[in-house]
């Protein structure tokens, strides 16, 4: 999944929680289902009862009971979730919180001893909180249940067969610093010198002369810290939540992407193509 070390450690720590709400958000086709099943796979043991309701079931895993919705028969996310609660599973994954009823049941489940995973179509992690509050979620209950929100995008990666090292100009480096945020960039410990090299696309037969082959994920992880929970109760704006999350150590989608530019996975053009903020 190409999580940074910081994000991976936070995700693993969150998956160890006995109950609460973990959300993976992003547009259609951003790899949310893959990330969710990767999370489930890492905690899937014979001692844990894991049930999922999806539309449709795209990935199957041994040891997990998976249900596909069937709207014609009235089997939607909300109805399946109510049935799940009577069976008392340890972990529940609901494909999408697409309406108030599903979100409410998912939140109720997360407060009554279940670890709940789900997805939403939102642009960033802070916006997810405001979206759910706008849907009518109780701010106090939501604050209690929130463990982690993972925002995700997929970007094209440089072809490993033909990508080339190059020394960026001072102007290119300044652009990367500016897009990352000058204050936060200092924490990376990267400075401009003659030894600094980045990767650039070239083109070969393996990548159809595009210079790009495959995709990788960039992430934004908002942890439900005490500070964030207090702001949720106060129904703070998405911008206020973003500022607080960055203070708590969150790297934005763009920052995670730029970090991967320096690691040679991609270039700034691809990062900016999917990141607004």
The pLDDT assigned to 124 comes to: 93
Residue for token pair 């596909």? 68
Cα dihedral 24→26→27→33 (10° resolution):
-30
pLDDT score at 276: 74
Q: Mind listing the pLDDT tens digit for each residue in 169-214?
A: 999 999 999 999 998 998 888 999 999 999 999 999 999 999 999 9
Nearest to 184 by CA among 251, 263, 137: 251
What distance in Å separates the CA atoms of residue 157 and residue 271, rounded to the nearest whole number? Answer: 10
Regions of the chain short of the pLDDT cut 50: none
Burial of 165 (0-12, 13-18, 19+ CB in 10 A): exposed
pLDDT at 275: 87
Residue 98 confidence (pLDDT)? 86
Q: What's the pLDDT at 1? A: 86
Give the SS3 label for residue 33. Answer: helix
- What lies within 8 Å, CB to CB, of 103 at 6+ separation is 97, 132, 135, 137
Q: Which two tokens stand for residue 49?
A: 């009862």
């Amino acid at each position: 999944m190409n999580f940074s070390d910081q994000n991976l450690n936070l995700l693993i720590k969150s998956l160890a929680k006995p109950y609460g709400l973990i959300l993976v958000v992003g547009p259609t086709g951003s790899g949310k289902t893959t990330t969710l099943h990767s999370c489930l796979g890492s905690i899937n043991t014979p001692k844990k009862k894991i049930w999922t309701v999806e539309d449709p079931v795209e990935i199957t895993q041994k040891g997990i009971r998976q249900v596909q919705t069937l709207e014609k028969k009235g089997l939607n996310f909300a109805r399946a979730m109510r049935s799940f609660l009577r069976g008392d599973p340890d972990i529940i994954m609901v494909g999408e919180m697409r309406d108030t009823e599903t979100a409410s049941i998912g939140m109720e489940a997360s407060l009554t001893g279940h670890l709940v995973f789900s997805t939403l179509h939102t642009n960033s992690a802070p916006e997810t909180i405001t979206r759910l509050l706008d849907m009518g979620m109780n701010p106090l209950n939501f604050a209690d249940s929130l463990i982690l929100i993972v925002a995700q995008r997929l970007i094209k990666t440089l072809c490993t067969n033909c990508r080339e090292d190059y020394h960026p100009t001072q102007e290119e480096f300044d652009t990367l610093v500016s897009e990352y945020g000058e204050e936060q960039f200092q924490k990376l410990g990267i400075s401009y010198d003659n030894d600094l090299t980045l990767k650039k696309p070239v083109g070969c037969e393996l990548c159809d002369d595009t210079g790009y082959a495959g995709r990788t994920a960039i992430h934004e992880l908002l942890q439900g810290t005490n500070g964030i929970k207090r702001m949720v109760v106060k129904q703070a704006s998405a911008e206020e939540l973003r500022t607080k999350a960055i203070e708590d150590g969150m790297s934005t989608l763009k920052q995670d992407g730029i970090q991967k530019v320096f690691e040679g996975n991609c270039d700034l053009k691809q990062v900016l193509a999917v990141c607004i903020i």
